[in-house]
Chains A and B, each alone.
Chain A
Amino acid sequence: MLIRLAGGRIVDPANKQDGIGDLWIRGDRIVAPPQGETPDAVYDVSDKIVMAGAIDIHSHIASGGVNTARLLLPENHRAHVPRPAATPLSTAGWSTFETGCRYAMMGFTTVIEPAVPAHQALHSHLELADVPIIDKGILAVLGDDDFLLSLLRGGGNRTAIADYVGSMLAATKAMGLKAVNPGGAIAFQNNARTFDLDDVVPFYGVTSRQIFQAMQQAAIDLGIPHPLHLHINNLGVPGNVDTAIKTIAAAEGKRIHLAHIQFYSYGKEGKRGFSSAAPRLAEAINAAPKAITVDIGQVMFRQTVTVSLDIIRQWSARPMAKPRKSVMYDGAANGAGIVPYLYKSDNFYNAVQWACGLELFLLLDDPMRSLFTTDHPNGAPYTTYPDLFALIMSRDTRAKWLADLPKEAVEMTTLPSLTREYSFSEIAAMTRVAPAKLLGLKDRGHLSPGALADVAVYNDDLDRAQMFRFAHLVFKDGDLVVRDGRVTHYRYGRTLTVQPRYGSGIDRRLAGYYDDLYGVSRNLFNVPPAEALGRDYAFEEVACGR
């Protein structure tokens, strides 16, 4: 099948392109314009914007925690629309099927679930098997696991740690490694209620700083494309900008990704002791080595539910739950907390948070290092992305929103003074090129010949939110899956994994360790081969550098 997308405005910053042209697709790949061949299908996309499929590096779409949130809040996701015949369960509120469809409708073709406890990886893969259309992947969370902490207590043999992390990535079929307030879950089991970068994990005698640095190094040593993905300590705490800046320094210029930094951009100024420190944080990130990347984690005003493995943070958020209920989980090797929350535009704190995120978007100078997220669903559901695109693309839109916010909150930020407006090229860099690069996905995020034919075509609607909410056309692997903002049919994507090389002696050691400590076989925790997961589940390997 040869397809020609004719006469669109092709926005492809990876190739420094923003201009009118044709894009050709053969099979599942982008191809150079073929000589003397007639396409099987031609789509007139003049006056439309053509981009590569978007990639979300941090969205909690499939895990035990997410599923607990679904079961906790039946009142928040009632469905009202019967589904079309070709797409079963696509209108079931907050189902995996709905997730695949709604992402595709916005032109997203790859989404990463970033917080999977290493012992619960199969759960996430089972959910992902029921997410249609998009490709996906998981990040495995370590950092509160006894084996790693014991290695660190014993002096932190670098090879052994890399071998262990490699073995866990293979066992979980993950594509990357994450740490969440590392050490915090164990500290909380020992009755700590706060946990900072240099606090010591009881029983193990190691600090959060030591844990994350060891994991950062392990990711580098294993040559996995995605660097350590770090959820910093002190999320949400006034004055935590200092923690973020200390952490940037502690990264020592080596590759690391810092997640949802909006939640760490808070000062303690003003009579309520809560202010935006986003300019200070943006300055620190702009000045930091290029090896340090961030995503924003924007807050939007609406009902949501926070789903996090940072149980210390979630415990402290319990009194703010709305509706007033929450689930806390002292899990094996990781904690978790599910706390519903209502972000309100007339709430001083929420308004400051919202402004902090936008300040970061507008003050961070490199879209290749500052990625677009709402930390779905923690800052806002991913379904608010279109509104967020509109906000960063238009200062008039921001001015309208700002007018509705409490004055005293706006005064704690610099947002009204920021005039920057994102161009299509910058949007594409931030949501296509940068995530592909950060995840090591060489055939995505751009429209060069040979790239995967994941393509989104948007109407050039002046209402940018409308434009990005309902893509005109979306191709996944060259298959037209969205037409006029509607999913036409299901297909199932692949799950991205890495297969790092590591010294396999660690597997023998771990087999004995699990038998002895847990009294169950380590095999019980391992993700079985794809064919055991049903629905023709398929893994795609992302090449490692080692």
Chain B
Amino acid sequence: MKAFVDGAAVGLDAAAAAAARVLGAARLPVIAGLGTDVAGARAAIALAEKLRGAYDHLASDVLLRDIDVMRQAGRILTTANDVRLRADCVLFVGPKLFESLPDLPKHLDLAAPPRLSVTKTRKVFWLGASRGEAAQVGATEIAASPSSLPQVLANLRAAVLERKTRANGAQKLVELAAQLKAAHFGVVVCAADSLDRLTIEMLHGLVVDLNEKTRFTTLALGPGGNALGVVQTSGWMTGFPVRTGFGRGYPEHDIWRFDANRMVEADEADAALWISAYRAEAPQWNRRIPLVALAKPQTRFAYPPRVKIEVGTPGEDHDAIEFSQEIATFALARAKNASNAPRVADVIGRIEQNLAKGSEAC
């Protein structure tokens, strides 16, 4: 692993000192990406406060869709283990649900009956799967294209409420509605990644309606790379999710104002710290503001960072606490292939030390 200042290889200390100069000189720095473990998120949010900057996550668009539905309408949620052990009726909604969680189908074990249920059978449906996906979990497929999905769901909800619809394929939806209502403990499985906000809210409404007579709940799959863990960490540290800023000396949350891409393009942020320790992902913005990057070696940047520090992958190069969607909470991921590649939290620690030195000097 290596560190670079203006493209030239340097030691980690020199890189941290240069990073501190870039960030310390900024009027409004933004910490973006935030693809890191809990320790990295803690360090980054604390640094954002110290710098009176803002922070955002690379998956914010997806994360905030779920969060927005929750804080507008609420949610009824469950865990993968409850689907595995208790659900006698599972409805998958939307395409590509397992893309960031390839081990999930095996974990859900839907071919077996739910072991902790009074019901000994399990019915599985998939509304709007992409090709070949439904077969992975032995689901009965009900076709819907991504663009028709909102209308199909509206029709399904109407069928659950026994309102008449004359839509195409209405009979299929009436049958599906009957199956959902006959469930003992049913679960809708969906991911904000493949649904828009209104569709997620409609699904929540469907689940609420089904609970009038029986039990139904939701498994909401999130993006990988500890994105959910970063939101949780942000929650207890500041009270708010990502897209939070400290310009006034206390945290303010605003999904528009503290959108990192917007802040850069609108000339509000004048330096950035980009963090992506899980994947070789670069910032999306075009304006060339001074950039410090804690990134994977293979990352291809649109323009060269002033400071680039290659960091290890949490759970690969070093032990890391991350949010595990398998168990729906935090867990320690032991390093699969321990190396001395630096951890995001340690690099930020060094940057902070240099900031402190800088402030003593002046």
- Contact surface of A with B, Cβ cutoff 8 Å: 62, 64, 66-67, 70-74, 77-83, 88-89, 91-97, 119-120, 122-123, 126-127, 130, 146, 188-191, 202-203, 321, 325-332, 517-520, 524-525, 528, 532-535
CA distance A428 to B287 in the complex (A): 61
Q: Separation in Å of the A456 CB from the closest CB of chain B?
A: 26
Contact partner, A92, options B238, B319, B329, Cβ 8 Å: B238
> Assuming the A-B contacts A73-B71, A328-B77, A533-B321, are A92 and B330 also in contact, with contact meaning beta carbons closer than 8 angstroms in the complex?
no
Asked if A92 and B239 sit within 8 Å, CB to CB, the answer is yes
Contact present for A532 and B321 (CB under 8 Å): yes
A-B contact pairs, 25 of them (CB 8 A): A67-B236, A70-B235, A71-B67, A71-B235, A74-B71, A79-B251, A82-B250, A83-B249, A89-B238, A92-B238, A93-B250, A95-B236, A95-B237, A120-B330, A126-B38, A191-B185, A191-B214, A325-B72, A329-B76, A329-B77, A330-B76, A330-B185, A517-B115, A520-B326, A520-B327
Known pairs A62-B236, A330-B76. 15 more at Cβ < 8 A?
A64-B329, A67-B232, A82-B249, A83-B250, A93-B250, A94-B239, A95-B237, A188-B215, A190-B215, A325-B74, A330-B215, A330-B217, A517-B85, A518-B84, A534-B42
| CB atoms of A91 and B250 under 8 A apart | yes
- Cross-chain contact A327 with B238 (CB below 8 angstroms): no
Q: How far is the CA of A73 from the CA of B109 in the complex (A)?
A: 36
State A364–B238 Cα separation when bound (angstroms).
39
B194 in the interface, Cβ–Cβ < 8 Å? no
Could you say which of B46, B249, B331 has the most chain A C-beta atoms within 10 Å of its C-beta? B331
**Which residues from B are CB-within-8-Å of A64?**
232, 329
List of 3 A-B pairs having minimum Cβ-Cβ separation, nearest first: A82-B249, A79-B250, A330-B78
Q: Please, which residues of chain B bring their CB within 8 A of the CB of A83?
A: 249-250
Expressed in whole angstroms, the Cα–Cα distance for A325 and B68 within the complex equals 12
B237: chain A residues at CB < 8 Å are 89, 92, 95-97, 130
Per the 8 Å Cβ criterion, residues 217-238 of B in contact with A are 217, 231-233, 235-238
When C-beta atoms are compared, the residue in chain A nearest to B77 turns out to be A329
Q: Does B253 contact A (CB under 8 A)?
A: yes
Whether A332 lies near B239 (C-beta < 8 A) is: no
- Asked if A126 contacts B86 (CB within 8 A), the reply is no
Which of B86, B236, B252 has a CB less than 8 Å from the CB of A189?
B86
- Residues of the A chain whose Cβ atoms lie less than 8 Å from the Cβ of B116: 146, 203
Given contacts A80-B250, A325-B72, contact A332 B67 (CB under 8 A): no
Evaluate contact between B239 and A326: CB separation under 8 angstroms.
Answer: no
Task: Say which residue of B67, B236, B239, B248 sits within 8 Å of A127 (CB atoms).
Answer: B236
Which single residue of chain B is at the shortest CB-CB distance from A63? B236
Q: Are A67 and B235 interface neighbours, CB within 8 A?
A: yes
Do A191 and B67 form a contact, CB below 8 Å, given A126-B321, A533-B321? no
On chain A, the residues within 8 Å of B331 by CB distance are 122, 524-525
Among B38, B70, B184, B329, chain A packs the most CB atoms within 10 A around the CB of: B329
- A524 touching B239, Cβ below 8 Å: no
Please, which residues of chain B bring their CB within 8 A of the CB of A93?
239, 250-251
Q: Is the CB of A331 within 8 A of B328?
A: yes
Residues on the A chain within 8 Å of B73, using CB: 325
Contact flags B43-78 to A (C-beta < 8 A → 1, else 0): 000100110000000000000000100111111111
